[in-house]
């Protein structure tokens, strides 16, 4: 693992504080920041205080590292129920951020979800990634949406994750600081700049001049989000690709039911780490009701607040099949590149393995609702 690893923090909080010290203040603000009062982000973490584990003893489970954490989710087989969450604009943290993360995820047998807002193209990531999914920010142009999805499928993506909580970016005060906006603008648009449908909309190739690049950025601003999407639009996606489809950012059980009725194979219960609507419910509070609403008609995944192995256990006990891990590995990427991401993911996986053993779970089938006390 290299000499740098012992120097790295041992907790998610540790990654955050080290990143605060070491990273460019604007890059740190981009990762750490959430919407408005940042109450949603705080609620995500606090919710785990209310769902306490009641571990079982004397179950004769096997020792560390031998427990069976394998899972199949949306048709993808993973060694552990963990994927790296789609995190955009990684060039703020590392020149080859998406490629690094996808490579480390593959090495450790976990999944990775590539953001539409990536700083590397789907083709670059597909060349190194193992079991990866493509996250779609559905643009305000169906031709472009189709092109993104079909490029991802050709590049080897195993599922499409449509993020529906971001028809436009949330109100994020830390990014709105005057010095931050120019720093962020024009980043994370590699998939647009390399897309034939996008390029056909431009008066000149963005490589040619600063003016052409400015036009490309303006075109991106106009196309980024889509406020008109309805559940029925999933039928278009079904036409464009054979891959399983998950919908990310659902918090209401009725919305979950609607998208499953409309053909989604999976739901990713998430509030975007509190970066979209402020003062919303904690994502963890939405999980149980959504699992109850969709039953076994769809695979339910969870993110927004996963920091430890017990957090994963809690989400699984509430009915999630797998979780996405977000900010901590992003900090680790910024601090230490590939060894940092490897360290962050290995810590989480080892902590999860330990939590399984200490709560009497030999495999994921043993992680059930009765592992949790009734919430206070």
Binding residues for FMN: 86-88, 115, 135, 163, 248, 270, 303-307, 326-327
- Contact between 369 and 74 under an 8 Å Cβ cutoff? The reply is no
Decide if 272 is catalytic.
yes
In whole angstroms, what is the distance from residue 100 CA to residue 102 CA? 6
* Encoded tokens for 72: 């199949």
In whole angstroms, what is the distance from residue 302 CA to residue 321 CA? 8
List beta partners, residue 132. 112
* Encoded tokens for 234: 């999933």
SS3 148: helix
Which CB sits closer to ligand FNR, 67 or 308? 308
* Encoded tokens for 277: 């609507």
Q: Does 309 bind ligand FNR (CB under 6 A)?
A: no
Q: Does 158 bind ligand FNR (CB under 6 A)?
A: no
In whole angstroms, what is the distance from residue 90 CA to residue 188 CA? 7
Q: Does 31 bind ligand FNR (CB under 6 A)?
A: yes
Residue 200, CA distances (Å) to 194, 197, 217 in order: 11, 5, 14
Q: Taking contact as CB under 6 A, which single stretch among the options 55-63, 147-155, 293-301, 304-312 is the one that binds ligand FNR? A: 304-312
Bridging pattern class, strands 71-73 and 76-78: antiparallel
Which CB sits closer to ligand FNR, 87 or 287? 87
Question: Nearest approach, Cβ of 13 to ligand FNR (angstroms)?
Answer: 12
212 Cβ neighbours under 8 A, 6+ residues apart: 202, 203, 204, 205, 206
Residues that bind ligand FNR (rule: CB under 6 A) add up to a total of: 23
Q: Cβ-closest residue to ligand FNR?
A: 326
What residues are designated binding site for glyoxylate?
A: 30, 137, 172, 272, 275
Residue pointed to by tokens 């400015």 = 214
Which residue from 270, 308, 310, 314 is in contact with ligand FNR, where contact means CB under 6 A? Answer: 270
Q: Does 280 bind ligand FNR (CB under 6 A)?
A: no
Q: What residues between 120 and 139 interact with ligand FNR by CB under 6 A?
A: 135
Q: Does 88 bind ligand FNR (CB under 6 A)?
A: yes
Cα angle: 173, vertex 49, 5; to 5 degrees: 75
DSSP state of 369: G
In whole angstroms, what is the distance from residue 369 CA to residue 376 CA? 15
Which CB sits closer to ligand FNR, 67 or 352? 352
In whole angstroms, what is the distance from residue 216 CA to residue 201 CA? 9
* Encoded tokens for 318: 């509430």
Which residue from 145, 245, 259, 306 is in contact with ligand FNR, where contact means CB under 6 A? Answer: 306
Which residue from 96, 272, 321, 343 is in contact with ligand FNR, where contact means CB under 6 A? Answer: 272
Which CB sits closer to ligand FNR, 219 or 276? 276
Question: Using CB under 6 A as the criterion, what x/- string covers residues 317-346 for binding ligand FNR?
Answer: -------x-xx--x----------------
221 Cβ neighbours under 8 A, 6+ residues apart: none
Which CB sits closer to ligand FNR, 168 or 368? 168
Which residue from 121, 304, 308, 359 is in contact with ligand FNR, where contact means CB under 6 A? Answer: 304
Task: Give contact residues for ligand FNR (rule: CB under 6 A).
Answer: 30-31, 85-88, 115, 117, 135, 163, 248, 270, 272-273, 275, 303-306, 324, 326-327, 330
Q: Which residues are identified as catalytic?
A: 272
């Amino acid at each position: 693992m290299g000499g740098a690893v012992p120097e790295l923090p041992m907790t998610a909080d540790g990654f955050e504080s080290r990143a605060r010290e070491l990273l460019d203040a604007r890059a740190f603000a981009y990762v750490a920041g959430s919407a408005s009062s940042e109450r949603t982000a705080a609620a995500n973490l606090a919710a785990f205080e209310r769902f306490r584990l009641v571990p079982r003893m004397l179950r004769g489970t096997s020792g560390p590292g031998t427990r069976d954490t394998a899972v199949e989710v949306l048709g993808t087989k993973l060694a552990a129920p963990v994927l790296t969450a789609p995190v955009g604009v990684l060039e703020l943290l590392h020149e080859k951020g998406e490629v690094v993360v996808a490579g480390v995820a593959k090495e450790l047998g976990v999944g990775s979800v590539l953001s539409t807002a990536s700083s590397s193209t789907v083709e670059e990531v597909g060349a190194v990634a193992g079991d990866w999914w493509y996250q779609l920010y559905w643009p305000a142009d169906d031709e472009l949406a189709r092109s993104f999805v079909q490029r991802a499928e050709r590049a080897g993506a195993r599922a499409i994750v449509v993020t529906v909580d971001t028809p436009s970016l949330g109100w994020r005060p830390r990014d709105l600081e005057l010095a931050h906006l120019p720093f962020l603008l024009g980043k994370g648009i590699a998939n647009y700049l390399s897309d034939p449908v996008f390029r056909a909309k431009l008066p000149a190739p963005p490589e040619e001049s600063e003016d052409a690049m400015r036009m490309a950025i303006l075109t991106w601003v106009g196309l980024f989000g889509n406020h008109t999407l309805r559940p029925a639009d999933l039928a278009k996606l079904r036409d464009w690709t054979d891959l399983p489809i998950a919908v990310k950012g659902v918090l209401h059980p009725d919305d979950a039911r609607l998208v499953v009725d409309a053909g989604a194979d999976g739901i990713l219960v998430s509030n975007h780490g509190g970066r979209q609507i402020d003062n919303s419910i904690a994502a963890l509070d939405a999980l149980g009701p959504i699992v109850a609403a969709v039953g076994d008609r769809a695979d339910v995944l969870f993110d927004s607040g996963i920091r430890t192995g017990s957090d994963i256990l809690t989400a699984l006990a509430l009915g999630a099949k797998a979780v996405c891990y977000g900010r901590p590995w992003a900090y680790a990427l910024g601090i230490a590149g590939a060894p940092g991401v490897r360290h962050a993911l290995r810590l989480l996986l080892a902590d999860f393995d330990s939590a399984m053993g200490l709560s009497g779970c030999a495999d994921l089938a043993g992680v059930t609702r009765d592992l949790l006390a009734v919430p206070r």
